[in-house]
Amino acid sequence: MSSLHPHRYFSAENAPLAHELYQTVADLPLVCPHGHVDPRLFSDPDYRFGSPTELFLIPDHYIFRMLYSQGIRLEELAVPRQDGGATEGDHRKAWQKFAEHYYLFRGTPTGIWLKEAFADLFDLMEPLNGENAQAVYDLMAERLDSADLHPRPLFDRFNIEVLCTTDAATDTLEHHQAIRDSGWHGRILPTFRPDAVVNLDTENWRDNIDQLSDVSGVDVIDYPSFVQALEQRRSFFKQMGATATDHAALTAHSARLSDAEAARIFQAALQGKITAESATQFTAHMLNEMARMSVEDGLVMQLHVGSYRNHNADIFAKFGRDKGADIPITTEFTRNLRPLLNRYANDPNFKLIFFNLDETTYARELAPLAGHYPAVKLGPPWWFHDSLNGMRRYFDQVMETAGLYNTAGFNDDTRAYPSIPARHTVWRRASADWVAGLISQHIVSESEGAEMVQALAYDLAKSAYNL
Amino acid sequence: MSSLHPHRYFSAENAPLAHELYQTVADLPLVCPHGHVDPRLFSDPDYRFGSPTELFLIPDHYIFRMLYSQGIRLEELAVPRQDGGATEGDHRKAWQKFAEHYYLFRGTPTGIWLKEAFADLFDLMEPLNGENAQAVYDLMAERLDSADLHPRPLFDRFNIEVLCTTDAATDTLEHHQAIRDSGWHGRILPTFRPDAVVNLDTENWRDNIDQLSDVSGVDVIDYPSFVQALEQRRSFFKQMGATATDHAALTAHSARLSDAEAARIFQAALQGKITAESATQFTAHMLNEMARMSVEDGLVMQLHVGSYRNHNADIFAKFGRDKGADIPITTEFTRNLRPLLNRYANDPNFKLIFFNLDETTYARELAPLAGHYPAVKLGPPWWFHDSLNGMRRYFDQVMETAGLYNTAGFNDDTRAYPSIPARHTVWRRASADWVAGLISQHIVSESEGAEMVQALAYDLAKSAYNL
Amino acid sequence: MSSLHPHRYFSAENAPLAHELYQTVADLPLVCPHGHVDPRLFSDPDYRFGSPTELFLIPDHYIFRMLYSQGIRLEELAVPRQDGGATEGDHRKAWQKFAEHYYLFRGTPTGIWLKEAFADLFDLMEPLNGENAQAVYDLMAERLDSADLHPRPLFDRFNIEVLCTTDAATDTLEHHQAIRDSGWHGRILPTFRPDAVVNLDTENWRDNIDQLSDVSGVDVIDYPSFVQALEQRRSFFKQMGATATDHAALTAHSARLSDAEAARIFQAALQGKITAESATQFTAHMLNEMARMSVEDGLVMQLHVGSYRNHNADIFAKFGRDKGADIPITTEFTRNLRPLLNRYANDPNFKLIFFNLDETTYARELAPLAGHYPAVKLGPPWWFHDSLNGMRRYFDQVMETAGLYNTAGFNDDTRAYPSIPARHTVWRRASADWVAGLISQHIVSESEGAEMVQALAYDLAKSAYNL
């Protein structure tokens, strides 16, 4: 990345000081406590990325949603259909479309990550466009064959200290086992994500429960055995190195049911007689139950709320989930989470990390909650807000009330492995820029600022996730 | 405007680069795709503005609301009462009141527009005050008599390429016809705004329906004939040059009714038996129906939501609508608009432009929607947010996720004809300032930035509205 | 404070001009129209602050909440338990804990206030830490004995022109009377706060009513006598120098009940048969009734809404109110306050000042309301938002629409007497920084800017509260 500007992403007025601060953390290892990289990249020593289109375009809904928003059909971009419909088979053609519309990413975080990755991995400095599309494709395809761009060598090149994946409660973690067995030195840890069994309205929920019985060895026939199976899986994940769980919910609603009521709803679900209302209640209840287990087993609990998934029915029917059609909604924490927080969050050994897409809650609810309850930490700006402006708004709205030390550092939350260094670079530079501003306003001293930048770049994430 | 500062409205750190970028677009023609200028200004070649008070104060609720908020009665400002009550008849006295309180506009967009217009049209650089009030009045009154300050010459002086008005569905567009017939070269286009017939709780709705029957030639006796009459009017507006429609609603609620249910509600309304609940449902239904028609006839659909009109009952009773007492409310798009978006917004030939007064939706809902659905574009910051800070927040919160090219450029949305150049100047300067910041942070290159400024100043509006 | 940096809290790009503007107001007297300082500090000429721990730590929930959020028990911090439980008795030990975690306040407003107060009162420039904790304690304890650090001399040293306290409707104001009787020159005024009698669900409400009967001389046996007693108290407070009232409510709901309905609910409450729903209705009603009284007696009405009090049930049970566990909620003004505003807010002699913890209402609701209704003024950023960033967001989001002259200047709203100068310093510096930005962007002239800074620092507060 030597040829990208050394002062990039710094505000003009902070640039020299921000640069100085950034230099002190630029080479620290990357701590990646939450993300969606497929462990197969590392379990299979011969894993290859495929074509440039397979590496950058097809799996990345940040990219193809923007092209789709401008009228380019996903089929033209070689995104596979789940309903059996035809899609473009020629990756070069899809790449050409992408290249012709690369200008759409001006000023976006995706544009920044692409630029960083192109420069870092391929020494490409020129913006992609219709003219250079095929030459770039050739160059990339050739480079992707070379051994230094395979996943394991990249892990070292990226200077990753630890990378956590996200895995279904029913996952056997065979790929994690294979990584361990291989003797490779990379530290890849699983994370326990039980959404597909605790959210009763998940597609194929009944199948997931059967699978849960299989992998846990606990025959899930009622609510108590369901809880027991979950506890078994948590224990197994912990053995396999997991330090955290992850939970996604539409809202932060957390009312605890009586065990009898929970059992009744679960039974109805087993019989396929679940209402939307009951499913919502059960999810709210299970958040409490998961908090209880975290207090007991020490796994850090992550909560991601506020995404209305699969908003576009037509796209969902044709292409399935995660196609750039998830739209945030307003979120409420103060009242919704009170039952859970009152019950568990006074325990300083419990850690509960929030992620959220409704920035209005930053200063109003999340920072005051994190600035009071011992268990509560705030995760970094999530998804659409994992961007320079998103980070600035986060620093601006969270830090004064929550305090830096109630935040959880950074995580890249990505399935796009090659974008990991870029994402950390943006965070570290934004952090340095923010702290430089505090110093230049004489709010903190230079030595305090240096410690804060180090905390943001490395320490906070490591400690929040017990890594 | 030569004596206003060339770096005005630029952040200190961006000023030189912003100025350079601004210079490249400062002289581009103004594209005005949405506003409320009265077409009579142009249909009557002898139209005169009247007194300075009639030009600046009486019609401008941005101005008199601020004076009212400080305890000055609207009667003192010569604002006409609709209930027959007395109002100040001496325009000089009203002007004196205005001048004495001109300092209230410090730091407000109205203050900026007034300063720009006073400088541009009257070479007045000194702030208005109690002492200079009458001298300024004299000077303005004299200048307003001169031919170069009449509406048509100003159209050229303002360098307006096209100006769209907003016209009721029942409007005969006789003034637009007169402009065409006059042979004058100015391009003035109508916009189809059916609120007064599709919102069943509009005052005088029944009269509006009769008028709709008259002008459309379709006897509106039931829901099918109502739809037919609307289609006739759209077709007529299109013939008269319209490229867009405009719809105002309190919320973004868009659930489609069955035709039978729509027919039942419409019938009840014809019989004067409409409930608030039914009216809301019907408005929500008609948004869908208008989207359907736009898909068919290609008229761009604009949606303005979130203003609680006529909040002050006393002012409404005495002075009527549009008296500075419209107050925004929270708005929700993700769930409310889903029915409409799912049905129509995957069509890349459909254009749906959103305007909104609840900025919390920018990053949370609007940018993700615009960054996904092919039909969705985001209009510029509206009303209270049509200001330097409003624009900064918009650039900050919208652009990273929506992408610049899913926005619709600028429109001045004003009935204050003399303020049009000032409003575009503020937008173009704010755009240049924003892009200068991106360049100085090395997020986009200088050549990319130059294209972005050009898009914001001219291209995006023209293309979003098919002009 | 001579050794703190003269440019502190100014943005780098505005610093020289901001400094120049700040100098013009730095020495103006402090107007403190709203706060929670105990009048006993001034009624008793021999009042002493006690230990450093008693002065800074024990009474300040801003401080101990942050320590609590990091797992330090309030008992360790010498915060007294209300349930009879044991707490740390050694103030030096509590101070040590505080000192060891002083770094948590980096970048927070509390950190700024502490730094300012330590420097100003004790000439301490070094950040507190585990090593210097006891030496600092010794130094402070010694200095606190000296006469110049007693409350009355500090009043002069702080250059306070007037300081308003907040007092229950049932308060006899004996301490205020004692201050008057003492012949001391300091101007300390009471503020009428009737929450504990108008909110029917207050703990010990029935006792409070009895006390109201006692102090007012009106036997409160029904709604009319209740109203009469309140009017008596307001009249008494006014005699004692009060110029304002203060009202806290969870929401801004303000629907007026019929007198019969109000009487019915009040009667039920007297009989101990009150529902949550009725209590909410009655609070909403009493806001109207208090507005009516303000229109009649001229007391300025303050409204603080949006804090969910005592969120943490465990802490509340052990330690009681005001322990850093109050969490904001979303607030709605446009519809909720319409009944009250329509009835009273067109009266230019009525003043209604809003405080709020949901910043999303700034630009959306509060600024448009203040920019229209003659009675409405906006109070400064409150509580969590009484911070540098909170002020910047306030200036950014409020001023363009409300106009500077519909705001109410600053108040420190603190029970931490030694932090008063620091809070005003932060506001005055933030004001100067904001205005410097307007000048450097050529939005206002230097002379206009100087007047604006003076208004923010002094004039607006004095005039808004009729002081």
Q: What is the pLDDT of residues B259-303, one digit of tens each?
A: 999 999 999 999 999 999 999 999 999 999 999 999 999 999 999
What residues of chain A lie within 8 A of the CB of C328, using their CB?
A: 334, 364-365, 368
Give the C-alpha separation, C199 to C220, whole Å.
15
Q: What's the CA gap between C89 and C293, in Å, rounded? A: 47
CB nearest A374 (choices: C70, C109, C111): C70
Residue B38 burial (CB count, 10 A)? 14
C363 Cα to chain B: minimum distance (Å): 8
Residues of B in contact with A12 (CB under 8 A): 13-14, 437, 440-441
To the nearest whole angstrom, how far is the Cα of A389 from the nearest Cα of chain B? 6
Same domain, yes or no: B396 and B272:
yes
Q: Which chains touch C (3 or more CB pairs under 8 A)?
A: A, B
From chain A, the residues in CB contact with C65 under 8 A are 371-372
Same domain, C310 and C217: yes
Question: How far apart are the C-alpha atoms of A462 and B120, rounded to whole Å?
Answer: 60
A225 and A353 part of one domain: yes
Take residue B41 and report the two structure tokens written for it. 């200004």
Residue type, A8: R
Co-location of A188 and A316 in the same domain: yes
In what order do the strands lie in the sheet containing C244-249?
Answer: C167-168, C192-193, C244-249, C300-305, C352-356, C376-378
Q: C332-355: per-residue pLDDT in tens?
A: 999 999 999 999 999 988 999 999
Nearest to B430 by CA among B124, B3, B109: B109
Å between C453 CA and nearest CA of chain B: 12
Looking at residue A1, its pLDDT comes to 42
Alpha-carbon separation of residue A383 from A202, C92, C373 (angstroms): 22, 46, 40
Q: Look up residue A121 and give its two tokens.
A: 């991995």
Whether residue B185 sits in one domain with residue B72: no
- Asked if residue B2 belongs to a domain, the reply is no
- On whether the CB atoms of residues C58 and C79 are closer than 8 A, the answer is yes
Q: What is the mean pLDDT of chain B?
A: 97
End-to-end, the C-alpha distance of chain C in Å comes to 28
For residues A28 and A105, state if they share a domain: no
Calpha distance A136→A129 (Å, rounded): 9
Reading the block at residue B296, the tokens are 């068919």
Domain count, chain B: 2
Phi, psi of A252 (to 5 degrees): -95, 15
Domain membership of residue C321 as a residue range: 15-49+147-464
Asked whether residue A260 is domain-assigned, the answer is yes
- Among the candidates B125, B146, B167, a domain finishes at B146
To the question of pTM greater than 0.95 for the whole model, the response is yes
Q: Is B342 exposed, middle or buried (0-12, 13-18, 19+ CB in 10 A)?
A: middle
Beta bridge partners of B248: B304
Q: pLDDT class for C3, splitting at 50, 70, 90?
A: confident
pLDDT for residue B95: 98
**Res. B358 pLDDT band, cuts 50 70 90:** very high
| Mean pLDDT, residues B60-86 | 96
How much is the pLDDT for B15? 95
Can you read off the two tokens belonging to residue A85? 């419909």
Task: For chain B, list the contacting chains (3+ Cβ pairs, <8 Å).
Answer: A, C
CB A229 within 8 A of CB A286: no
Q: Which residues contact A271 (CB under 8 A, 6 or more apart)?
A: none
Answer for the pair B45, B51: CB distance below 8 angstroms, yes or no.
no
**Residue C381: what pLDDT?**
98
Mean pLDDT in residue range C380-391: 98
Task: Report the relative pairing of strands B327-328 and B307-308 from DSSP bridges.
Answer: antiparallel
Q: Which two three-digit tokens encode residue C274?
A: 């009150």
Give the pair of three-digit tokens for residue C450.
């100087």
Interface contact B104-C14, CB threshold 8 A: no
Q: Which of C348, C403, C440 sits opposite B66 (nearest CB)?
A: C403
Beta bridge partners of B313: none
Q: Is A443 in contact with C308 (Cβ distance < 8 A)?
A: no
Q: Give the ranges where C372-419 is alpha helix by DSSP (H).
A: 388-402
CA distance A460 to A408: 5
- At A115, the amino acid letter reads K
Disruptive mutation site among A62, A75, A311 for chain B (greatest number of B CBs within 10 Å)? A311
Under-50 pLDDT residues of chain A:
1-2
pLDDT class of B43 with cuts at 50, 70, 90: very high
Tell me what pLDDT residue B1 has: 42
The answer to whether residue C413 is domain-embedded is yes
How many angstroms separate the CA atoms of C207 and C202, rounded? 10
- C32 and C75 together in one domain: no
**B110 and B208 fall within a common domain:** no
Choosing from C126, C146, C166, the residue where a domain stops is: C146
CA distance B64 to chain C (A): 9
Mutate to test the interface with B, among C337, C372, C376, C431 (most CBs of B within 10 A): C372
Q: What is the mean pLDDT of residues C263-274?
A: 95
- B329 with C338: Cβ contact below 8 A: no
Pairing of strands A188-189, A300-305: unpaired
Q: Closest Cα to residue C406, out of B127, B390, B107, B61?
A: B107
Q: Report yes or no on A3 lying in a domain.
A: no
A229's tokens: 């199976």
Tell me if C8 is assigned to some domain.
Answer: no
Identify whether B4 is part of a domain: no
Interface of B with A (CB under 8 A): 13-14, 332, 334-335, 338, 341-342, 346, 348, 360, 363-365, 367-374, 376, 396-397, 399-401, 403-406, 437-438, 440-445, 448, 451-452
Dig out the tokens for A434 from the structure: 């923010």
Q: Does B372 contact A327 at a Cβ distance shorter than 8 Å?
A: yes
Which residues of chain C lie closer than 8 angstroms to B107, CB-CB?
A: 399-400, 403-404, 438, 443-444, 452
Sign of CA dihedral C184, C188, C194, C195: negative
> Is there a domain that residue A2 lies in?
no
Range A223-229 contact pairs with CB under 8 angstroms and sequence separation of 24 or more: A223/A259, A223/A262, A223/A263, A223/A266, A223/A267, A224/A263, A226/A197, A226/A266, A227/A289
Strands of C261-361, DSSP E: 300-305, 307-308, 327-328, 352-356
A234/A169 Cα distance (integer angstroms): 8
Residue (of A10, A36, A42) closest to A23 by Cα position? A10
Characterise A406 by phi-psi region: left (phi > 0), alpha (psi -120 to 50), beta (else).
alpha
Out of C364, C397, C404, name the one closest to residue B358 (CB): C364
* Placement of tokens 């300092």 in the chain: B103
The residues, any chain, with a CB within 8 Å of residue C312's CB and separated by 6 or more, are A341, A342, A346, A372, A373, C323, C325
Mind listing the pLDDT tens digit for each residue in A36-69? Answer: 999 999 999 889 999 999 999 999 999 999 999 9
Q: Examine the domain organization and report whether A101 and A159 are in the same domain.
A: no
- Beta carbons of C20 and C13 less than 8 angstroms apart: no
Q: How far is A372 from chain C (nearest CA, A)?
A: 4
Supply C125's token pair.
């420039």
Amino acid in the structure at residue C84: G
Domain of A212: which CATH number? 3.20.20.140
In angstroms, rounded to a whole number, what is the distance separating the alpha carbons of residues B460 and B33? 11
pLDDT at B203: 87
Question: Is C232's pLDDT higher than 70?
Answer: yes
C-alpha distance from B431 to closest chain C C-alpha (Å): 14
Residues B276 and B402 in one domain: yes
Most A CBs within 10 Å: which of C73, C115, C311, as the mutation test of the A interface? Answer: C311
CATH number at residue B119: 1.10.2020.10
- Tell me how crowded residue C271 is: count the other CB atoms within 10 A of its CB: 9
The token pair at B173 is 């567009």
Is the same domain home to A39 and A170? yes
Helix (H, G, I), strand (E, B) or coil at B395: helix
Q: Is residue B1 part of a domain?
A: no
Q: Which residues of A383-416 are buried (b: 16+ CB within 10 A; e: fewer)?
A: bbbbbbbbbbbbbbbbbbbbbbbbbbbbbbbbbb
How close A307 comes to chain C (CA, Å)? 19
Tell me if residue B467 falls in helix, strand or coil. Answer: coil
Q: A320: how many CB neighbours lie within 10 A of its CB? A: 15
Asked if the interface predicted TM-score (ipTM) of this complex is over 0.90, the answer is: yes
Nearest CB partner across the interface for A400, out of C7, C314, C389: C389
**pLDDT tens string C244-253:** 999 999 999 9
Check whether residue A39 and residue A74 sit in a common domain.
no
In contact, A10 and A440? CB cutoff 8 Å: no
Helix/strand/coil for B10 = coil
Q: Where are the alpha helices (DSSP H) in C313-379?
A: 313-319, 338-344, 360-361, 367-370
Boundary-marking domain end, from B128, B146, B164 = B146
Question: Residues B443-463, buried b or exposed e (16+ Cβ, 10 A)?
Answer: bbeeebbbbbbbbbbbbbbbb
Residues of B in contact with C13 (CB under 8 A): 11-13
List of chains touching A (3+ CB pairs within 8 A): B, C
